[in-house]
């Protein structure tokens, strides 16, 4: 067999929107924004830290010289690993072009799979969601898929975390109202991990925080960045910007200002403690100028997400992306279209930690059916990204010769060996013949998804946490309840 030389292979499809020079141009522009325009920081400790790091602080306005940004870019780790809380297995490696998918957290509403009604999310709905996520093979991490609202709202973040960690072992990206909530959640995680150091070495949780666009770091956000750095725990910092509203209407302007917001968060984080794990985010989209919504389904949203992934790869910072979501008010054809476009683009671009799978209604409502459907779409996208292997075994010229014109390959060992790995078999996507489909009840994809969701809720049991640990977590939740009661 001949040996090939100088043979370049696309082991997976190569997909880029921005060239490296375009990435550099946007980075430089973002640095110019930080040095010239600056950001407002509403947390005093953060301002002090920034001042010490060499930033120009004038009341709450902080301007960041480029050298300070450069230093933060050098010190931030280019990889973060998240593990399973039950097994400790390091499943989610946020590095390079690895793309993992999970849900989002901040939907006030959810669709009840039993009644079909849109209702406020509850602790039970979040528990159900986490079970479903735990059961789906293409979902890699968890966000609550709803804001728990049937508990005292000021400490709902503790309840929300409890509901999540009891019902899934997958890594959790958690929200917290403020650093006090965050501290309680960290305490819960340390109990589960078996100590502060154990959690730091093998984190199964990362905190989610976001600046307020344009160019503002609220007290909650900045203080979370600092606490995460002090604790040595990873933090996701993700500007949510809308072109024409909180950022310029041009895509390059969106990327520039959004990146400036991320980088200023990075500087707060790295100035507190160099080398602390940081995951750069961004939900970058347009404001729909007819309805004023923050669009979760527009083509610009997909385009910007892929561009941001190019930037994150250029900067070598792990990236928090967005996919599998829709502006549609129900799970219909539009939801299918928008979910598929965003998942395909995301899988091709390779941002690392991709959230909001299962969002409908421009992020106001969650749907477990949509989540379950997107589990299949992620499977399709992953098949696409595995690409085409070209070698003697896969070219199969001898087999083609053996079968010759007019034959078929169904009965060949080669087929038997490869058909399952070369082809992705979805769970819910229907490929029956028409007659069989009619025979099995002429069900739409949504109906099949609804059945599967109910089946998981009723019959699937995630790995439980040990009883004593469950009790300790309960204790922390109750403690916070007592605090606000006073």
Partner 1 sequence: MSKSQYVRANYQVNATPQLKMLSDDQCESILNGALEVLERTGAEIHSQEALDVFKKGGCWVDGNMVRFPSHIVEWAIRNAPSRIVISNQKGERTLFLEGQNVYYGPGPTNTYTIDPFTGERRRPRKADTVRAAKVIDALPNISYAMDCGTVMDVTPTLSDVHAFQAMLENTNKPIIHWGFGIDQYQDIIDMAAVVAGGLEALQQNPFILLYSESSPPLRHSVEAIDKAIFAAKNNIPIVYTPCTFAGGVAPATMAATLVIAVADSLVGLVAGQLVRKGSGFVMGGLISTMDMASTILSYGAAELSLLSAGLTAVARYMKIPMFSTGGCTDSKVIDTQMGLEAAFSILIAGLSGANLIHDCSYMEYGATSSLELMTMDDEIIGMVKRILQGVEVDDEHLALDVINKVGPGGHYLAEDHTMKHFWGFWAPTLINRLRYDGWKAEGSKPMAQRVKEKTQDIINNHKPEPKSESVLAEIQAIVDRAEAREANKR
Partner 2 sequence: MSNYYEELTQSIISGQLDRVKSLTQQAIGAGNNPIDIINQGLIPGMSVVGARFKVGKMYVPEVLMSARAMDAGMQLVKPLILSEDIPSAGKIVIGTVKGDLHDIGKNLVSMMLESAGYTVINVGVDAGPEKFLQAVKEHQPGVIGMSALLTTTMLSMKDTIELLKEEGLRDKVKVIIGGAPISQDFADEIGADGFAPDAGSAADLCKKLLA
Rule CB under 8 A: which of 412-451 touch partner 1?
Answer: 412, 414-415, 417-419, 422-425, 429-434, 436-438, 442, 444-446, 449
Span near partner 2 by CB under 8 A; candidates 64-72, 389-397, 407-415, 464-472 = 407-415
Binding mask 285-314 for partner 2 (x = CB under 8 A): --x-xxxx----------------------
Smallest gap from Cβ 95 to partner 2, in A, equals 32
Q: For residues 32 and 254, give the distance between their C-alpha atoms in angstroms, rounded to a whole number.
A: 14
Long-range contacts of 479-484 (CB under 8 A, 24+ apart): 479/184, 480/155, 480/158, 480/181, 480/184, 481/152, 481/155, 483/155, 484/152, 484/154, 484/155
Which 422-441 positions form the footprint of partner 2 (CB under 8 A)? 433-436
SS3 224: helix
Q: Is 44 an interacting residue with respect to partner 1 (CB under 8 A)?
A: no
Please tell me what DSSP assigns to residue 469: H
Tell me how far apart the alpha carbons of residues 469 and 30 are, in angstroms, rounded to a whole number: 45
Q: Does 73 bind partner 1 (CB under 8 A)?
A: no
* Interacting residues with partner 1 between 289 and 308 (CB under 8 A): 289-291, 293, 295, 297-300, 302-304, 306-307
Binding mask 114-153 for partner 2 (x = CB under 8 A): ------x--------------------------x-x---x
SS3 82: strand
Give the whole-angstrom CA distance, residue 234 versus residue 249: 32
Q: Which of residues 248-267 bind partner 1 (CB under 8 A)?
A: 248-253, 255-257, 260
When the beta carbons of 409 and 460 are compared against partner 2, the nearer one is: 409
List 408, 421, 461, 468, residue binding partner 2 (CB under 8 A): 408
Contact predicate 356/366, CB 8 Å: no
Q: Six-digit token pair at 60? A: 């709450």
> How many angstroms separate the Cα of 405 from the Cα of each of 393, 399, 400, 401, 408?
20, 12, 9, 8, 9
Chain centre to alpha carbon of residue 149: 23
Interface with partner 1 in residues 216-235 (CB under 8 A): 216
As a whole number of angstroms, the distance between CA 187 and CA 56 comes to 35
**Minimum distance of partner 2 from residue 288's CB (angstroms):** 9
Q: Please identify, using beta-carbon distances, which residue of 28 and 289 lies nearer to partner 2.
A: 289
Count CB neighbours of 73 within 10 A. Answer: 17
Q: Which one, 144 or 306, has the nearer CB to partner 1?
A: 306
Cβ 404 to partner 2 shortest distance, Å:
12
Asked if 87 interacts with partner 1 (CB under 8 A), we say no
């Amino acid at each position: 067999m001949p040996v090939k030389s100088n043979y370049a292979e696309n082991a997976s499809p190569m997909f880029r929107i921005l060239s490296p020079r375009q990435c550099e141009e946007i980075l430089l522009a973002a640095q110019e924004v930080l040095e010239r325009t600056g950001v407002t920081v509403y947390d005093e400790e953060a301002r002090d830290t920034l001042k010490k790091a060499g930033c120009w602080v004038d009341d709450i306005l902080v301007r960041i010289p480029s050298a300070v940004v450069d230093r933060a870019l050098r010190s931030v780790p280019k990889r973060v690993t998240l593990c399973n809380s039950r097994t400790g297995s390091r499943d989610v490696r946020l590095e390079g072009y690895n793309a993992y998918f999970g849900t989002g957290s901040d939907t006030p509403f959810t669709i009840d799979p039993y009644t079909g009604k849109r209702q406020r999310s509850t602790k039970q709905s979040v528990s159900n969601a986490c079970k479903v996520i735990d059961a789906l093979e293409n979902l890699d991490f968890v966000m609550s898929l709803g804001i728990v609202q049937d508990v005292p709202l000021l400490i709902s973040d503790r309840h929300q975390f409890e509901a999540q960690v009891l019902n899934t072992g997958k890594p959790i990206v958690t929200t917290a109202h403020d650093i006090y909530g965050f501290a309680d959640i960290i305490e819960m995680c340390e109990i589960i991990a078996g100590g502060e150091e154990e959690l730091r070495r093998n984190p199964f949780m990362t905190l989610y925080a976001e600046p307020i666009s344009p160019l503002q770091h609220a007290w909650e956000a900045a203080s979370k960045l600092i606490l995460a750095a002090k604790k040595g725990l990873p933090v996701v910092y993700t500007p949510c910007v809308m072109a024409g509203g909180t950022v310029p209407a041009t895509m390059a302007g969106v990327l520039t200002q959004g990146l400036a917001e991320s980088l200023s968060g990075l500087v707060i984080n790295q100035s507190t403690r160099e080398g602390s794990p940081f995951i750069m985010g961004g939900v970058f989209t347009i404001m729909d100028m007819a309805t004023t919504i923050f669009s979760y389904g527009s083509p610009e949203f997909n385009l910007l997400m892929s561009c941001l992934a190019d930037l994150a790869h250029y900067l070598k910072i792990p990236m928090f992306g967005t996919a599998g979501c829709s502006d549609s008010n129900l799970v219909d054809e539009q939801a299918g279209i928008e979910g598929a476009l965003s998942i395909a683009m995301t899988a091709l671009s390779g941002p690392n930690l991709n959230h909001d799978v299962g969002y409908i209604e421009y992020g106001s409502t969650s749907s477990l059916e949509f989540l379950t459907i997107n589990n299949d779409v992620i499977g399709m996208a992953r098949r696409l990204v595995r690409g085409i292997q070209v070698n003697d075994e896969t070219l199969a010229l001898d087999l083609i010769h053996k079968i010759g014109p007019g034959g078929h390959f169904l009965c060949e060992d080669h087929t038997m060996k490869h058909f399952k790995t070369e082809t992705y078999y979805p769970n819910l996507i229907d490929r029956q013949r028409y007659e069989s489909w009619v025979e099995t009840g002429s069900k739409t994809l949504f109906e099949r998804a609804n059945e599967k969701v109910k089946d998981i809720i009723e019959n699937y049991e995630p790995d439980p946490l040990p009883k004593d640990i469950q009790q300790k977590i309960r204790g922390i939740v109750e403690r916070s309840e007592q605090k606000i009661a006073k």
